[in-house]
C-alpha cells in the first residue's frame, strides 16, 4: 500500500505522464478540429497507425526525424482528404466512411510495412528523438526532469494545444470552423464556403492525428510493429467528448488519462497476484466511465454529423 503511494512521488511517473499524453494530445486535438467543423473522423485509429509507420519508414530510409514527422503528417492529410471528400461534398455516412478509412489506412500501412520488412524479421529500429533538456529550467528540482527534459515533439504537442485553443476561440478562421460545425447555412450567408472549411479542418485534423501516431515510433519507441496504436485513436474520440469539445479541457483530459495509464503500468510491479491484463484494461474502462460521467452534459457541435448540401435542408 505504502509502495503504491510512493510511486506518486517519483519524478519518473510524472515524466511518463507527459510522454504517454503526447500522442493523445495530438490525436484528440485532431479529432476535435474535425468535429468542431461538423465532421466526425473515425479514421483516427487507422490514420495514427499510418502516421506511426510512415514516420518510422522515412527515418529508416535515412530522413531527418523532423522530415519523418512531416512525411507522416502529409500521409495523414491525404487520408483525411479522402475522408473529407466522401463525407463533405458527397455527404456520405461519417460513421461508415470513418470506419472504412480506419480499415483502409491500417491495412494499407501493414501492407506497405510488409513490403519493406518480411515476416519473421525483427522490427528494424531507428535512432529516435532524444530528450531535449531546456537549459536552466531542466535543473529545477522535480519539475525540471518532469517537464523540461521531454522530447521535442512533447513540447510541440503542448504548444499545439495552446495554438489550437487560441485559433478556435480568438481568430476569424476559428470562428469560421466553429460556425461550419454549428450552422453551415450561416457560413454560406457570410459568403464563405462551408464545404471548403470542413474539408480543410478534416485535412488539418488528420495531419495532427498522424503526428500522434508518429510520436510512438520516433520518440516513445524506436520501431514500428503491428497493433502498436492499441485503441489510442478511439480513446482520443472519447477524450473529445469528455472535454466538451474544448481544446484546453482535451489537454487536461489527455494528461489525466495518461496519469492513470502511467500509474497502472507501475502498479503492476508493486501489486502481486493479479493478472497483468486487469491493469491494462483500466484505461479503456476509465474512458467508458468518463463518457458516462459527462453524458448529457457535454454539448456537441449542433451540425456534427449532419452533411451540408446546398439547397437541401
Binding positions for another protein, rule: CB under 8 A: 42, 82, 86, 90-93, 95-97, 99-101, 103-104, 106-108, 110-111, 114-115, 230-231, 234-235, 237-238, 241, 275, 277-278, 280-281, 284-285, 287-288, 291-292, 295-296, 309-310, 312
CB closer to another protein out of 1 and 118:
118
Which residues are paired to 151 by β-bridges? 131
CB closer to another protein out of 148 and 224:
224
Contact 32, 174 (CB under 8 A): no
Backbone CA torsion sign across 245, 248, 254, 259? negative
**Smallest distance, another protein to C-beta of residue 66, A:** 27
**Smallest distance, another protein to C-beta of residue 61, A:** 15
Burial class (CB in 10 A: 0-12, 13-18, 19+), 130: exposed
Buried/exposed code over 142-161 (b: 16+ C-beta within 10 A; e: otherwise):
eebbbbbbbbbbbbbbbebb
Q: How far apart are CA 177 and CA 194, in angstroms?
A: 8
CB closer to another protein out of 200 and 233:
233
CB closer to another protein out of 86 and 262:
86
**Smallest distance, another protein to C-beta of residue 285, A:** 6
Closest CA to 64 of 152, 160, 133: 152
**Smallest distance, another protein to C-beta of residue 24, A:** 14
The three three-digit cell numbers of residue 19, written as one number: 510522454
**Smallest distance, another protein to C-beta of residue 96, A:** 6
Q: How far apart are CA 210 and CA 74, in angstroms?
A: 8
**Smallest distance, another protein to C-beta of residue 281, A:** 5
Contact 147, 19 (CB under 8 A): no
CB closer to another protein out of 18 and 82:
82
User: Which residue has cell 507522416?
Assistant: 72
E strand residue ranges, 175-230: none
CB closer to another protein out of 189 and 285:
285
CB closer to another protein out of 177 and 235:
235
Q: How far apart are CA 78 and CA 306, in angstroms?
A: 23
**Smallest distance, another protein to C-beta of residue 262, A:** 18
Amino acid at each position: 500500500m505504502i509502495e503504491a503511494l510512493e510511486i506518486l512521488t517519483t519524478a519518473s511517473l510524472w515524466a511518463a505522464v507527459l510522454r504517454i499524453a503526447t500522442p493523445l494530445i495530438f490525436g484528440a486535438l485532431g479529432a476535435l478540429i474535425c468535429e468542431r467543423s461538423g465532421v466526425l473522423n473515425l479514421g483516427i485509429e487507422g490514420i495514427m497507425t499510418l502516421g506511426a509507420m510512415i514516420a518510422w519508414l522515412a527515418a529508416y530510409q535515412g530522413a531527418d526525424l523532423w522530415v519523418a514527422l512531416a512525411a507522416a503528417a502529409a500521409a495523414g492529410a491525404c487520408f483525411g482528404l479522402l475522408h473529407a471528400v466522401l463525407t463533405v461534398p458527397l455527404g456520405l455516412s461519417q460513421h461508415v466512411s470513418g470506419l472504412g478509412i480506419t480499415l483502409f489506412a491500417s491495412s494499407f500501412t501493414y501492407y506497405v510495412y510488409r513490403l519493406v520488412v518480411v515476416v519473421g524479421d525483427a522490427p528494424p529500429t531507428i535512432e529516435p528523438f532524444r530528450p531535449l533538456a531546456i537549459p536552466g529550467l531542466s535543473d529545477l528540482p522535480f519539475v525540471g526532469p518532469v517537464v523540461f527534459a521531454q522530447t521535442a515533439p512533447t513540447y510541440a504537442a503542448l504548444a499545439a494545444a495552446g495554438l489550437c485553443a487560441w485559433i478556435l476561440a480568438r481568430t476569424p478562421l476559428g470562428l469560421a470552423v466553429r460556425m461550419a460545425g454549428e450552422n453551415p447555412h450561416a457560413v454560406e450567408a457570410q459568403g464563405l464556403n462551408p464545404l471548403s472549411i470542413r474539408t480543410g479542418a478534416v485535412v488539418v485534423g488528420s495531419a495532427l492525428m498522424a503526428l500522434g501516431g508518429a510520436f510512438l515510433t520516433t520518440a516513445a519507441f524506436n520501431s514500428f510493429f503491428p497493433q502498436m496504436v492499441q485503441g489510442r485513436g478511439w480513446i482520443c474520440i472519447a477524450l473529445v467528448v469528455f472535454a466538451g469539445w474544448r481544446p484546453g479541457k482535451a489537454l487536461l483530459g489527455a494528461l489525466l488519462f495518461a496519469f492513470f495509464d502511467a500509474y497502472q503500468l507501475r502498479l503492476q510491479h508493486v501489486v502481486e497476484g493479479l493478472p497483468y491484463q486487469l491493469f491494462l484494461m483500466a484505461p479503456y474502462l476509465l474512458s467508458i466511465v468518463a463518457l458516462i460521467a459527462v453524458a448529457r452534459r457535454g454539448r456537441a457541435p449542433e451540425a456534427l454529423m449532419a452533411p451540408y448540401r446546398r439547397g437541401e435542408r
